[in-house]
Amino acid sequence: MKSIPVYVGLDYHQDSVQVCVLDSAGAVLRNGSYENDMLTIATVAENHGTQVHAAIESCTGAADLADELALRAGWTIDLAHPGYVARMKQNPDKTDFTDARMLADLERVGYLPKVWLAPQEVRELRRLVRYRQQLVDERRRIKLRVSALLRDQRVRCPYASSTKGWHTWLKTTKEVSQESGWILKRHVKRVESLDREIQQVATRLARRTKKDPMVLALLKEKGIGPVTAWTLRAEIGRFDRFRTGKQVSRFCGLSPRNASSGQRQADAGLIQAGNRPLRATLMQAAHRLIRYDAPWKDFAQKLLDRGKPKCVVVAATANRWMRSLFHQMQPAGSSAA
């Protein structure tokens, strides 16, 4: 009896996990809330069978628990897309009891909308890449505050915000009021501190990925620098988990959204799903390709000659480039973790 397969749905929370266990016929064997502990959860499920097929919605902390259950308990476990699972519900009510049961049932019948469970090293790289992006975003917000303060004082800085002259001018200018000058100096100190911290993160990323085959292959591509390579490695993980270039491009949010109905066939801009920082990084890469890589420059010029707006041209270049990169990166992606 213990060898009979069971299907488990895990509704994850920080302090507890709702565990629903179903048999092959869909009958509920157990559905209760338990401590967020791998051994406790494994014991509850394995009391009904050792062939465990489990599902858990992708959320903060879920991947670590899924990894533990797969590696230490030997479970077959899948991450579920929370947005698609919510759309599949046929009941407006939401409880942990019903959510766990639905996950178990979707796993049982094979209809679970799965997402990739990234290995530990990729998740660690993501944390570093996203932490760097948070620092960059914070630095940009401070520079915007500086610009707003100068506009409020009707003062124009003669230097670009990315130059040393900008820092020096803000520290020494007498064109602003006393209190505004005091605020500017504090903003500049914070920007300089963020610059140092961003460099420390970049050094750590470079050290962590210096032997990564996918990063090394990406750096050989024209127009691709370390930041773009790190971001692609962290967010995509590996290219061979996609079946086609169109899939990877859609994952990056670069595909046009279909808006067809009846005889009307049209696109409605880029899809709104996907990782926005990843898409922004690829848009920046497309700008560099159009500027420095002759084939992509010609591709962009043909679209411009057809009257396409510049923003559409950049998005189309990024979309087409990612599709071609999918084929180029297959060997490197396959050898990566």
| Predicted local confidence at residue 270, as pLDDT | 74
Residue bearing tokens 């465990």: 52
Residue 57, H or E segment: strand 51-57
Amino acid, single-letter form, for residue 181: G
Using alpha carbons only, what angle is made at residue 197 by residues 196 and 198, rounded to the nearest 5 degrees?
95
| Predicted local confidence at residue 171, as pLDDT | 87
Higher-pLDDT residue of 56 and 259 is 56
CA–CA distances in Å: residue 65 to residues 38, 154, 181, 227: 7, 55, 50, 29
Using CA atoms, how far apart are residues 43 and 34, in angstroms rounded to an integer? 11
CA–CA distances in Å: residue 223 to residues 206, 227, 229, 312: 18, 11, 10, 19
**Cβ proximity of 187 and 145 under 8 Å:** yes
- Tokens describing residue 153: 């004082």
Chain mean pLDDT for the chain: 89
| Predicted local confidence at residue 254, as pLDDT | 86
pLDDT tens digits for range 288-303: 999 988 999 999 999 9
Whether the per-residue pLDDT at 286 is higher than 50: the answer is: yes
Whether the per-residue pLDDT at 54 is higher than 50: the answer is: yes
Identify the bridge partners of residue 79 per DSSP, sorted by sequence position: 56, 115
Handedness of CA 292, 295, 296, 298 (dihedral sign): positive
pLDDT tens digits for range 11-41: 999 999 999 999 999 999 999 999 999 999 9
| Predicted local confidence at residue 320, as pLDDT | 93
Whether the per-residue pLDDT at 158 is higher than 60: the answer is: yes
pLDDT tens digits for range 258-284: 666 666 666 667 777 778 889 999 999
Whether the per-residue pLDDT at 138 is higher than 80: the answer is: yes
| Predicted local confidence at residue 3, as pLDDT | 72
pLDDT tens digits for range 176-233: 899 999 999 999 999 999 999 999 999 999 999 999 999 999 999 888 899 999 999 9
Using CA atoms, how far apart are residues 151 and 163, in angstroms rounded to an integer? 19
pTM of the predicted protein model: 0.85
Q: CA dihedral defined by 198, 200, 201, 205, rounded to 10 degrees? A: 130
Least confident of 97-111, 164-178, 183-197: 164-178
Residue 232 phi/psi, 5-degree rounding, is -65, -40
